[in-house]
Amino acid sequence: VFRPDAKGQFPVLLARTPYGKTGRVSTIFSLDAMRAAREGYIVVIQDVRGRYDSEGEFDPFHQEINDGYDSVEWAGSQSWSNGDVGMFGGSYVGATQWLAASSVPPSLKLIMPTVTASDYHEGWTWQGGAFELSFNLPWTLMHLTASNYPHLVKHAGKPEDGIKKLLAEVDRLDEVFKFAPMKDWSTLQDGLAPYYYDWLAHPEYDDYWKKVSIEESHSKINVPALNYGGWYDIFLGGTLRNYMRMKEMGASPTARKGQRLLIGPWTHPMASPSLAGGLNGEYFFGSSANSGMIDIHGIQLRYADHFIRGMDNGVADEKPVRIFTMGTNVWQEEDDWPLKRAENTKFFLHSGGRANTLNGDGTLGQDSPGAEPPDVFLYNPLNPVPTRGGGLCWFDAFG
């Protein structure tokens, strides 16, 4: 708990994290707790259930609705609180905000979710019907299990030397990725991360996922949100959908009118001022692309001042969308998203006949391949006379 060096009651900014409440990622990743305290906020950072110093068993997403409600109301009822609570944080810490907001705690006045999703099935654990192995496995193995292993030793009775096996798996991820079937990979079984196997067991969008889907709850959420993301972020789609759907479906005029969107040229970690820079891959977007240079901490505190404290500081008069345009490398303020002046452009897949490998000759271009059917010879095993056309193909052992 970070408090102003003054007596009295103050509004609270709350972050609920699975990554350790005392670490730098929690105290400065998306909002500098010390700066917020100096500017008159009490900052509360809490380990979610089953993580680090919090007892219990960690059940990602599913525990955060009720726990979030209780945490917000606890923060609003303390003697040093004035009863008004906002929330902040990125990635899973953004999920804890949306899930808490879906329970409509009375003390909650604003959320500021950073680089986070709108659905924890499609776009987080699954993508287009495929399990997001390259994200789910390292995230669970390293950030949710290995980093939390001392807690599992203390509270779940796991052997102290068990961390060696986890770290060994981390160091050979290339081999672990090839294990099949995935549900039989045993490293995270025996109570280490049962939720990982729950994700695998629910490939469809069923009740398991619907209960925690933010998209199912947009019409219940009644608070403004500063949606802050990156063009290269893995959860960009969710950030945009949260903004657009809340603007249309939010449960109150304040929620609908209070939606804001800020998108920079960032990857998932680069959205943090402590990690961001103008360089992304091989492209330099300029110094103004650094989220620290635009004072992202100050932007969030201005929104908190307006929506929590009710200050007339110009936020209400600003355009709701602020985006970084890559190529010209400038920030733009816009009336809405999607941009009304945007034009849809069709792209087509092309091939010289060898587009089936990474080093093949497949290309993506705006030139239409034409309306003529391709030179495809159809093989019907019931009538083995090749027929030229572009319709249904029959395949046999010869291809």
Neighbours of 122 (CB within 10 A): 18
Query: Which bin fits 381, alpha (ψ -120 to 50), beta or left (φ > 0)?
Result: alpha
Name the DSSP class of 2: B
Angle, helices 162-170 vs 149-156, to 10°: value is 150
Q: Are 45 and 13 in contact (CB under 8 A)?
A: no
- Measured between alpha carbons, how far is 256 from 147 in angstroms, rounded to an integer? 38
Whole-angstrom Cα distance, residue 156 to residue 331? Answer: 49
How far, rounded to the nearest angstrom, does the alpha carbon of residue 84 sit from its chain's CA centroid? 25
In sequence order, the β-bridge partners of residue 86 are: 13, 110
d(C-alpha 271, C-alpha 29), whole Å? 9
Question: Which contacts (CB < 8 Å, 24+ apart) does range 65-68 have?
Answer: 65/99, 65/100, 65/102, 65/103, 65/212, 66/103, 67/16, 68/16, 68/96, 68/97, 68/99, 68/100, 68/101, 68/103, 68/105
Name 2's Cβ contacts closer than 8 Å, sequence gap at least 6. Answer: 33, 34, 36, 37, 42, 43, 44, 45
CA 116: distance to chain centroid?
2
Cα angle 101, 103, 106 (rounded to 5 degrees) comes to 75
Residue 358's CB: how many other CB atoms inside 10 A? Answer: 5
- Annotated catalytic, 233? yes
268 is catalytic: yes
Q: Which of 30, 91, 217, 291 is catalytic?
A: 91
Residue 38, C-beta contacts closer than 8 angstroms, at least 6 positions apart: 4
Q: Among residues 67, 119, 233, 305, which one is catalytic?
A: 233
Q: Are 121 and 62 in contact (CB under 8 A)?
A: no
- How many Å is the Cα radius of gyration of the chain? 24
Residue 57 and residue 26 in contact, taking contact as beta carbons nearer than 8 Å = no
Among 151, 268, 297, 306, the active-site one is 268
How far is 262 from 302, CA to CA, in rounded Å?
A: 14
Q: Please give the positions annotated as active site.
A: 91, 233, 268
